[in-house]
A and B are shown apart, each in its own frame.
Chain A
């Protein structure tokens, strides 16, 4: 058994006071000066512990308040109120919701999985990955203990061409079959997001995080210059379509990526000529024709294919189709072509919660790229001011690389534990066994219609309640 993979997390504070979900409004006018003010009775002591963030001039009280509303409900003059913070509500967009952003902040700070009481508060289902549920085993199943971890659950995956069988020489030793495999201990590859107030120190921090995690960091070649040479094995450089950048691939890198183009073969042959041991991934846009492209790439010996969706988890050419469907469709085509087991399929686009990792794998990929969460871990508010050339409200570009790495390791550590929880509940102890296991998932589109579809006939004159 391999030694147990553990991600060491450690609390790393925010640099800025986070945007809080709601705010306390306490009026002074009309105060009765009670002998014992309700503020002194706060269970969490927020009125005593409040402080002013020197740089931002923000009162920390709203981030300490736990919304028990006891002061609101007890002030005899009704002077204390809680109201929703419009700045919080306005964060992000319909995919990168305020709640998702705030949860990512918390995980990057603490390295702990989000836990709450009082049941599930969210919607019944939703678009994309929110329209599926993962299975669990009730009575008849092997024991798996999730994060309490008395039994080993492996999240490792292999990138590259997996041999269908092993060749042993006459003395029983394993014969080299000439293929390169890169194995990473968890099905997550960090990837530089397309925008952000990103400085060389940020990029170095992500590379450092990738090395600490034992995984990879994918970014365009032209931003990789400042990264220390010893981090090269943790890099996955993205080459452009031009040939002249091949020379800049850092020595020691094991895997490079090229974008799909009509003449991908010539690019591949240039890279292979330079370094035959380099593993090559081809990035295919999640769009019309991706199934055929992927199958032909795989048949031609490309062993790693990266399906790239939009940052909102959609197809690049169709805003009504979700990454979830794209993955299922390409995976099935590769299975039909009897080639799925020997190659690696990766996907990116809108992966924003730990469950998306498990669900994407259930739908058919081996692993996923995580891009914006690695930026949100650095307190990004998804305000997109940087895309307009305006200053970053949380000065991400000034964050030192050590802090960047620690925050990202915390986030991925929390995700890893959540992945173990989902796999443990399913009784699956190897992430490679999770791939394409749609039988261990439940889909809204299958269940809803099947359960309720026959209830549509209602006689004229009936009353509904």
Chain B
């Protein structure tokens, strides 16, 4: 089912993967509600009959609550606990649910992402899947659907164009066009397990897009997927070799990352296992510093020198420049264009897997929501907007964030955390403690890695992105558009609830 021979440049040869239901790998998936069945139950089967979500199941003449997590609670049109003739059912909120999540990723958003990863579609009811609770930016922006729009209701889903052209310079480099408006952001070998890495890349292959290796080198296991890999050149230059640059279609320069803008990285000595050391061409047991910034770059001219190195080694490679969001991010974007980059990748501060100082994540650099329109506008004024692809990342959690980021000026987005949530990350923020992620996602511990099977991981990520894709098409349809390109920079399709002059009455 997962094909690696997808030719990205021929639309007709591309076939979208299908949804395969992929339930949680844990015995007790976490849902928002808990139903309790008392001994008064006579197994009449009324609840089984009523429930459209398969929460109740009958086994050997008895009724059990098998799928608490699928219950939509008070949003249920015909609630079983009210209809039960014996009054044997009671509905409560799940206490485990209330301790879950944070302002960026409230419990509802986590649970709805798990739903998408299981079913390949957004949750119908019971969960807020469109917004987080950060109280600003994306969470206060709303998509505006006008009453009168071009009628696109008749157009079938597969005629909607969600693709993004990554090479707009029309130069010698590969003419890469991704089929979906997202690709996988850099997560290095070491920060996540090889299974997680492969799951993400195999999902990217299936969806006709790319996935980035991050800074920790290019494991051999990735070789079969070279055409869908973006390799990263970061300040530590770990694992960067001529051969890895020549293998890929896209090379990403990481100047900064949103989770720790302006700071270097530090991989502790005991994380430098033989595998990691080999990959990074370093010595086992010694800490590795990734300095900040590139100590060979002090100007845009120096930056051009970097881009030229890549082009000398691999003339067909597309060059992406990943930066975070300082006050002069617009100048950086223009500078990158003139240095020869194809993609400017703005990384906001809500993302990141490995450990980063809390002070950096919270305080350094401006929110992505401010940086995107600033860059889009400046590139437009400079007359180069249509020559450069703008990618946004660092806090894109759901299809609505994608649509909002694009309306603010991005061409496409990168994900990272969302992929991990699809693999049942619960955002405990302990990626680096002890043996690494206890849930087996962001770890190199042999035993913990066993918690995830690659096929399961791949399908979960594919499912989530298929749900995003379907939802984006629904949004485009309501906007009267048939292509995501039409939405780029259309801030008139957005409103911010703090500045809205008059709430429209919806008839």
Give A residues with C-beta under 8 Å from B: 22, 25, 43-44, 66-70, 72-76, 78, 81-84, 103, 113-125, 133-146, 148, 150, 353-355, 358-359, 418, 421-422, 424-427, 439-440, 442, 447-449, 451-465
Contacts and interface: CB of A to CB of B under 8 A. Distances in A.
A139 B505 contact: no
A123 B289 contact: no
A460 B505 contact: yes
B133 to A, nearest CB: 8
The 6 nearest A-B residue pairs measured at CB: A425-B262, A124-B136, A117-B431, A136-B262, A121-B102, A68-B438
B429 A117 contact: yes
Contacts of A137: 262, 293, 326
A447 B370 contact: yes
Nearest to B356: A115
Contacts of A140: 298-300
B247 interface: no
A134 B98 contact: no
B145 A463 contact: yes
Given A117-B431, A421-B357, A69 B30 contact: yes
Contact of B395 (A119, A138, A454): A119
A115 B430 CA distance: 9
A459 B29 CA distance: 43
A25 B255 CA distance: 46
Nearest to A76: B27
Contacts of A354: 359
Determine which residue in A73, A115, A138, A448 has the highest number of CB atoms from chain B within 10 A of its CB, and name it: A138
Nearest to B303: A139
A118 B29 contact: no
B452 to A, nearest CB: 13
A455 B495 contact: yes
A442 B98 contact: no
B95 interface: yes
B355 interface: yes
Nearest to A124: B136
Interface stretch (B4-12, B269-277, B345-353): B345-353
Contacts of A78: 28
B349 A120 contact: yes
B99 A455 contact: no
Determine which residue in B352, B432, B437, B438 has the highest number of CB atoms from chain A within 10 A of its CB, and name it: B438
Contacts of B259: 119-120
Interface stretch (B48-56, B199-207, B210-218, B328-336): B328-336
A18 B201 CA distance: 43
Nearest to B321: A139
A151 B174 CA distance: 41
A457 B427 CA distance: 37
Determine which residue in B335, B351, B366 has the highest number of CB atoms from chain A within 10 A of its CB, and name it: B366
Contacts of A355: 359, 362-363
Contact of B96 (A81, A144, A447): A81
A117 B442 CA distance: 10
Contacts of B349: 119-120
Contact of B363 (A73, A134, A447): A134
Interface in B362-376: 362-367, 369-370, 373-374
Given A67-B428, A113-B359, A451 B505 contact: no
Given A447-B366, A458-B500, A458-B502, A124 B292 contact: no
B65 to A, nearest CB: 10
A425 B261 contact: yes
Contacts of A66: 428, 430, 433-434, 438
A139 B297 contact: yes
Interface in B419-443: 420, 425-435, 437-439, 442
A424 B255 CA distance: 15
Determine which residue in A44, A454, A462 has the highest number of CB atoms from chain B within 10 A of its CB, and name it: A462
B38 to A, nearest CB: 14
A114 B358 contact: yes
Given A116-B356, A421-B359, A463 B350 contact: no
Contacts of B351: 119
B28 A43 contact: no
Interface in B11-29: 24, 26-29
Interface in B470-503: 475, 478, 491-492, 494-496, 498-503
Contact of A455 (B328, B367, B420, B496): B496
B396 to A, nearest CB: 11
Contacts of A122: 102-104, 134, 362
A135 B327 contact: yes
Contact of B361 (A120, A123, A139, A440): A120
Contacts of B324: 136, 138
Contacts of A425: 261-263, 292, 360, 364
Nearest to B291: A145
Nearest to B191: A117
B498 to A, nearest CB: 7
A138 to B, nearest CB: 5
8 contacts: A82-B96, A84-B99, A118-B427, A122-B103, A358-B363, A418-B357, A458-B495, A462-B147
Contacts of B266: 148
Contacts of B506: 461-463
Given A137-B293, A455-B495, 9 more contacts: A44-B433, A117-B431, A120-B358, A121-B427, A121-B429, A138-B324, A447-B366, A462-B147, A464-B145
A117 B353 contact: yes
Contact of A117 (B24, B352, B360, B507): B352
Contacts of B395: 119-120
Contacts of A143: 291-293, 295
Contact of B104 (A121, A142, A461): A121
A148 B289 contact: yes
B261 A136 contact: yes
Interface in B131-149: 133-137, 139-147
